[in-house]
């Protein structure tokens, strides 16, 4: 389960803004310079978001969309993780191991600071010691640490393909091992683990496959679950993780190859995402980059979701099943019911063409037109073209979007006093930019991207009225389905 201020990432996606706009890639790529390997839990500190990677480098972001080089973590080492406990940020990192200089002899060390911002008076790291180690001869490797705070107890998982993944309990007040805590073997054939807690289940996520070979890396993220943090963990087919099991969560997508290092991002209001790195971003020369994708839950298992791709859609209210549309007069399709219904079986009846935009729009007013909801009939005033506009920014792995009536420049816009309408032409102003985030059940939340009140979202009031009011994650009224035309 995610800590209140912690948001965990791990291994990359990509950017190339012009590529997104041209291709409509479902997985929006992160902006800036998101180059990192083995990223730690994304953690908020003093209003900004931080992650750290192997060899001490890190990234920082104001919005989870644009990432640039951040403060350097001391200590070096590999595959860190971060958790906030009280007023301290604890960082776990490995020195040695991984088959590198020290073979598989390694230590996981802990340090803390009261701020991750080097400009803060509370910034300053304090090394407090070793929480786990391996001697190089035992079948384990003390690297790739990951924290979980759940049900008042603090856990650390660690390990690689060399031997087993281990779990050890730490003191939540100090992040040091409890006096009687002993490491427990919980999985094999994985590395770069992470943990979640949800609905009474502990989830152990790990990276299978091979790393560090660019576009030839076979990394993929898999999961097992248990009712207790020390296992036994099994996958959806009942195969124990101690026998190499694991249900697939994420694999290669589009131009991103080799996802690994899962990290939960709990953004509140029912929105969960996860971070990872891609071993190779093909649009960035095969470099390892940070990535963020929606996190869905199906039958009690986490799965990778999708950002909305460029395309034309019916936008359907989960509350009523009715479609978002222009509030215009209904235009009938010319149709001879008698010719159709009374035709003999062998009579050739020509197809009925779809209503054209010209026919539907003949009497539309020139200025603003309100939006409402109606029964979906595949009419032009119910068809919306959704286009990523990453140059306008984004939020945690998803770009801003413009939403226009298909075949026109008429754009959905946020108005005053919670109103939603359309304006004659999209001009890129803030009121015409939308954030679309996938929710855990696969539906989507639509909110004005630049609104000062971040709680506002497009919500169906009754069966026919869309308005902008605070989103309620417990209600279907603010959930939408995008149906491809």
**Domains in the chain: boundaries:** 6-304, 311-484
Task: For residues 192-208, give the mean pLDDT.
Answer: 97
Pairwise CA distance, residues 427 & 392, whole Å: 12
DSSP, collapsed to helix, strand or coil, labels residue 195 as strand
> What's the pLDDT score for residue 267?
94
Active site (annotated) includes residue 46: no
In angstroms, the Cα distances linking 162 to 16, 103, 196 are: 36, 10, 23
> What's the pLDDT score for residue 343?
83
Task: For residues 198-226, give the mean pLDDT.
Answer: 96
Active site (annotated) includes residue 191: yes
Pairwise CA distance, residues 102 & 123, whole Å: 31
Active site residue: 81, 141, 191, 281, which one?
Answer: 191
pLDDT-based confidence at residue 338 (cuts at 50, 70, 90): confident
Task: For residues 397-420, give the mean pLDDT.
Answer: 96
Q: Tens digit of pLDDT for each residue in 265-289?
A: 999 998 999 999 999 999 999 999 9
Task: For residues 333-339, give the mean pLDDT.
Answer: 85
pLDDT at position 86 over 80: yes
In angstroms, the Cα distances linking 440 to 126, 202, 273, 299, 356 are: 38, 18, 9, 11, 36
Task: For residues 217-234, give the mean pLDDT.
Answer: 97
Q: Tens digit of pLDDT for each residue in 10-45?
A: 333 333 333 333 333 444 479 999 999 999 989 999
Q: List, in order, residues 6 or more apart from 37 with CB less than 8 Å away.
A: 11, 53, 54, 277, 288
3-state helix, strand, coil in the chain (%, to 5): 10, 45, 45
Q: List, in order, residues 6 or more apart from 85 with CB less than 8 Å away.
A: 149, 154, 172, 173, 175
pLDDT-based confidence at residue 100 (cuts at 50, 70, 90): low
What does the longest C-alpha to C-alpha distance in the chain come to? 87
Tokens 């799965």 -> residue: 303
Tokens 């010719």 -> residue: 339
Report DSSP state, residue 160: -
pLDDT at position 365 over 50: yes
> What's the pLDDT score for residue 336?
84
pLDDT at position 425 over 80: yes
Q: Between β-strands 272-281 and 256-266, what pairing exists: parallel, antiparallel or unpaired?
A: antiparallel
Tokens 């037109």 -> residue: 369
Tell me the CATH class for 6-304. Answer: mainly beta
Report DSSP state, residue 419: -
In angstroms, the Cα distances linking 393 to 29, 81, 144, 284 are: 11, 27, 32, 19
Task: For residues 357-376, give the mean pLDDT.
Answer: 96
Written as one string, the DSSP assignment of 223-258 is EEEESSTT---B-TTS-BGGGT--EEEE--BTTEEE
Tell me the CATH class for 311-484. Answer: mainly beta
């Amino acid at each position: 389960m995610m800590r209140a201020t912690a948001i965990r990432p791990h291994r990359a996606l990509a950017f190339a803004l012009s590529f997104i706009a041209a291709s409509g890639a479902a997985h929006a790529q992160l902006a800036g310079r998101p180059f990192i390997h083995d990223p730690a839990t994304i953690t908020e500190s003093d209003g900004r978001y931080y992650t750290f990677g192997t060899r001490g480098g890190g990234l920082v972001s104001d919005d989870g969309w644009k990432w640039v080089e951040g403060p350097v973590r001391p200590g070096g080492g590999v595959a860190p993780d971060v958790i906030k406990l009280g007023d301290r940020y604890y960082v776990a990192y490995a020195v040695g191991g991984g088959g590198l200089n020290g073979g598989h002899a390694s230590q996981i060390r802990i340090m803390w600071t009261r701020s991750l911002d080097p400009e803060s008076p509370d910034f300053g790291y304090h090394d407090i010691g070793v929480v786990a180690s391996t001697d190089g001869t035992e079948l384990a490797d003390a690297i790739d640490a990951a924290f979980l705070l759940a049900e008042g107890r603090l856990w650390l998982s660690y390990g690689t393909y060399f031997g087993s993944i281990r779990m050890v309990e730490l003191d939540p007040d100090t992040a040091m091992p409890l006096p009687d805590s002993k490491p427990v073997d919980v999985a094999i054939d994985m590395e770069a683990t992470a943990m979640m807690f949800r609905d009474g289940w502990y989830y152990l996520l790990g990276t299978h496959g091979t790393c560090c070979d660019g576009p030839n890396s076979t990394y993929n993220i898999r999961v097992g679950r248990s009712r207790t943090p020390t296992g036994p963990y099994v996958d959806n087919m009942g195969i124990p993780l101690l026998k190499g099991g694991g249900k697939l969560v994420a694999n290669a997508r589009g131009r991103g190859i080799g996802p690994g290092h899962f990290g939960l991002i709990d953004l509140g209001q029912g929105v969960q995402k996860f971070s990872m790195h891609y071993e190779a971003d093909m649009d960035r020369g095969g470099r390892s980059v940070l990535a963020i994708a929606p996190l869905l839950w199906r039958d009690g298992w986490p799965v990778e979701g999708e950002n909305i791709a460029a395309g034309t859609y019916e936008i359907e209210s989960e509350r009523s099943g009715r479609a978002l549309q222009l509030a215009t007069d209904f235009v009938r399709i010319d149709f001879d019911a008698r010719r159709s219904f009374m035709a003999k079986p062998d009579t050739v009846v020509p197809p009925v063409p779809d209503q054209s935009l010209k026919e539907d729009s003949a009497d539309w007013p020139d200025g603003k037109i309100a939006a409402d909801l109606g029964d979906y009939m595949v009419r032009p005033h119910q068809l919306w073209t959704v286009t990523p506009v990453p140059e306008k920014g984004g939020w945690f792995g998803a770009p801003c979007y413009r939403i226009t009536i298909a075949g026109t420049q008429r754009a959905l816009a946020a108005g005053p006093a919670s109103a939603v309408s359309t304006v004659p032409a999209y001009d890129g102003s803030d009121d015409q930019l939308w954030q679309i985030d996938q929710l855990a059940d696969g539906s989507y939340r639509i909110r004005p991207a630049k609104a000062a009140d971040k709680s506002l979202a497009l919500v169906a009031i009754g069966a026919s009225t869309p308005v902008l009011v605070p989103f309620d994650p417990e209600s279907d009224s603010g959930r939408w389905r995008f149906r491809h035309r």
